[in-house]
């Protein structure tokens, strides 16, 4: 339904077919067709498999993606989605990630769903992905693992931190695959964000639901820039001229620990020629008051000032690479802003370097090489 809605929105279908074809899976065909969901005209996407396929483990799927001829950005995003799905299954079954074997979600149609959705999002290059709280069904479902409660355990694991609600319907409304796609791509969750709609796409499902159309709506639009639109972030600042460097460093660490997106100190000359510091904090708008209180608590300032700001961020994903020093998380900041920024997680590298008694730069270099391979 995700791919169908994005194609209905305007993503050329060859973006999907080319990506799925790059996997080299024999006997696999993807098709798109018009559909009607009640009074709504929509698009339906289907994967047709004409040759029996083997079950695949997480490691096999990840290797398939890594060795494929997919576009580098599509490959990175696809692997990140599958890693989220794999970790959810590993947690549910209490096994190692490498030992996870996919059944329903490991079938070719699910691989095509994830890769096709990743290709569509890379093609669009959105600066933000906002998703409404997800409706979840209830009851039970029969699968290879036996009878499972709904929402499926792996779905719930994928949706950690994602707003959901009871749709009041017996049946599966969000699959583990869909949950992994949404949880990996979404940056915010709102019932309806403040923006100007420009294009709309509808993806049709196959089930008939009792009290609503079984269709997924995707809306492409631009953020409003009118003065009535509240800023997304706030810079909170305080001038101090009676703090030592030790106290200033401790204050910055405390502010980061309290949830600041960034915190820094800059030297200034204050009244009467006194040398001082400007302590600055970048915070999401909803956390501004709390972090302002933390700034006052950690410094000798008697007041702070607020400057509303907006923030443009590269879409970011995290993948895990295997090195001879162990597993290392790698952050990939992508989007339509030139070459991606690829950075191994420093804390992971530092811990691995300490265990192996090697310089941290050696671990960083190996993590980068493992990602690029």
CB contact set of 358 (below 8 Å; sequence gap of 6+): 325
The per-residue pLDDT for 145 is 67
Mean predicted confidence (pLDDT) in 339-367 = 94
CA 220 – CA 103 distance, rounded (Å):
34
Question: What contacts 24+ positions apart, CB below 8 Å, involve 314-317?
Answer: 314/340, 314/341, 315/126, 315/127, 315/129, 315/185, 315/187, 317/76, 317/77, 317/80, 317/184
pLDDT at 267 over 50: yes
CA 78 – CA 81 distance, rounded (Å):
5
First to last CA, the chain: 32
Contact call for residues 85 and 176 (beta carbons, < 8 A): yes
The per-residue pLDDT for 103 is 61
| Cα–Cα nearest to 163, from 148, 153, 150, 174 | 174
Name the maximum alpha-carbon separation found in the chain.
82
* Sheet of 305-309, strand order: 262-269, 275-284, 233-240, 305-309
Q: Count the helix, strand and coil residues of the chain and give each as a percent rounded to the nearest 5.
A: 35, 30, 30
- Positive or negative: CA dihedral 334, 337, 340, 342: negative
Parts of the chain belonging to CATH 3.30.70.1380: 233-309
The per-residue pLDDT for 106 is 52
CA 43 – CA 37 distance, rounded (Å):
9
Outline where the chain has alpha helix (H). 2-9, 13-21, 58-67, 72-93, 108-124, 153-158, 176-185, 245-257, 288-298, 346-356, 360-372
In DSSP terms, which residues pair with 332 in a beta bridge?
Answer: 317, 342
pLDDT tens-digit readout, 23-73:
988 888 999 999 999 999 999 999 988 877 777 888 889 999 999 999 989
- At residue 316 the predicted structure's pLDDT band, cuts being 50, 70 and 90, is confident
Question: Has domain 233-309 been given CATH number 3.30.70.1380?
Answer: yes
CA 139 – CA 136 distance, rounded (Å):
10
pLDDT at 293 over 90: yes
State both tokens at 254. 């405390």
The per-residue pLDDT for 224 is 58
* Percent of the chain with pLDDT strictly greater than 70: 97
CA 187 – CA 183 distance, rounded (Å):
8
Contact call for residues 235 and 309 (beta carbons, < 8 A): yes
CB contact set of 187 (below 8 Å; sequence gap of 6+): 128, 129, 130, 313, 315
| Cα–Cα nearest to 23, from 79, 65, 82 | 65
Task: Output the CA–CA distances (angstroms, integers) from residue 225 to 62, 191, 196, 307, 314, in the order listed.
Answer: 41, 20, 10, 17, 19
pLDDT tens-digit readout, 110-164:
899 999 999 999 999 888 899 999 999 999 988 776 888 999 999 999 999 899 9
CB contact set of 287 (below 8 Å; sequence gap of 6+): 259
CB contact set of 356 (below 8 Å; sequence gap of 6+): 325, 363
For 59, counting Cβ atoms within 10 Å of its Cβ (0-12 exposed, 13-18 middle, 19+ buried), the class is middle
Torsion of Cα atoms, 288 then 294 then 298 then 300, to 10°: 60
Mean predicted confidence (pLDDT) in 77-99 = 91
CA 6 – CA 12 distance, rounded (Å):
9
The mean pLDDT of the chain is 90
Contact call for residues 238 and 278 (beta carbons, < 8 A): yes
The per-residue pLDDT for 227 is 43
Q: Is the pTM of this model over 0.75?
A: no
- Cis peptide leading into 151, omega within 30 of 0? yes
pLDDT at 104 over 70: no
| Cα–Cα nearest to 76, from 106, 115, 105 | 115
């Amino acid at each position: 339904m995700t791919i169908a809605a994005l194609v209905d929105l305007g993503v050329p279908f060859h973006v999907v077919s080319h990506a799925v074809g790059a996997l080299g899976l024999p006997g696999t065909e993807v098709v798109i067709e018009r559909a009607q969901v009640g009074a709504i005209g929509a698009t339906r996407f289907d994967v047709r498999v004409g040759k029996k396929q083997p079950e695949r483990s997480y490691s096999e799927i990840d290797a398939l993606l890594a060795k494929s001829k997919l576009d580098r950005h599509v490959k990175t995003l696809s692997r990140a989605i599958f890693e989220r799905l794999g970790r959810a299954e590993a947690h549910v079954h209490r096994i190692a990630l490498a030992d996870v074997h996919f059944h329903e979600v490991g079938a070719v149609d699910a691989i095509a769903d994830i890769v096709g959705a990743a290709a569509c999002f890379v093609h669009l290059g959105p600066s933000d992905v906002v998703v409404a709280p997800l409706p979840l069904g209830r009851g039970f479902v029969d699968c290879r693992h036996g009878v499972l409660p709904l929402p499926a355990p792996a779905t719930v694991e994928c949706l950690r931190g994602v707003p959901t609600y009871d749709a009041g319907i017996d049946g599966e409304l969000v699959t583990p695959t869909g949950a992994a796609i949404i949880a990996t791509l979404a940056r915010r969750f709102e019932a309806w964000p403040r923006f100007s709609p420009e294009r709309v796409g509808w993806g049709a499902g196959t089930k008939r639901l009792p009290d609503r159309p079984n269709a997924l709506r995707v809306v492409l639009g631009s953020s409003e820039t009118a003065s009535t639109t509240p800023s997304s972030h706030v810079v909170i600042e305080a001038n101090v001229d009676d703090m030592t460097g030790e106290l200033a460093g401790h204050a910055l660490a405390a502010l980061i620990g309290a949830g600041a997106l960034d915190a820094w100190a800059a030297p200034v000359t204050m009244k009467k020629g006194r040398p001082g510091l400007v302590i600055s904090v970048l915070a999401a708008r909803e956390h501004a008051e709390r972090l302002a209180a933390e700034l006052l608590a950690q410094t000798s300032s008697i007041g702070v000032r607020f400057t509303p700001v907006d923030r443009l961020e590269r879409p970011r994903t995290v993948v895990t690479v295997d090195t001879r020093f162990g597993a290392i998380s790698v952050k990939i900041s992508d989007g339509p802003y030139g070459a991606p920024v690829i950075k191994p997680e420093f804390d992971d590298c530092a811990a691995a370097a300490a265990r192996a008694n090697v310089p941290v730069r050696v671990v960083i270099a190996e993590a980068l090489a493992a990602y690029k391979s």
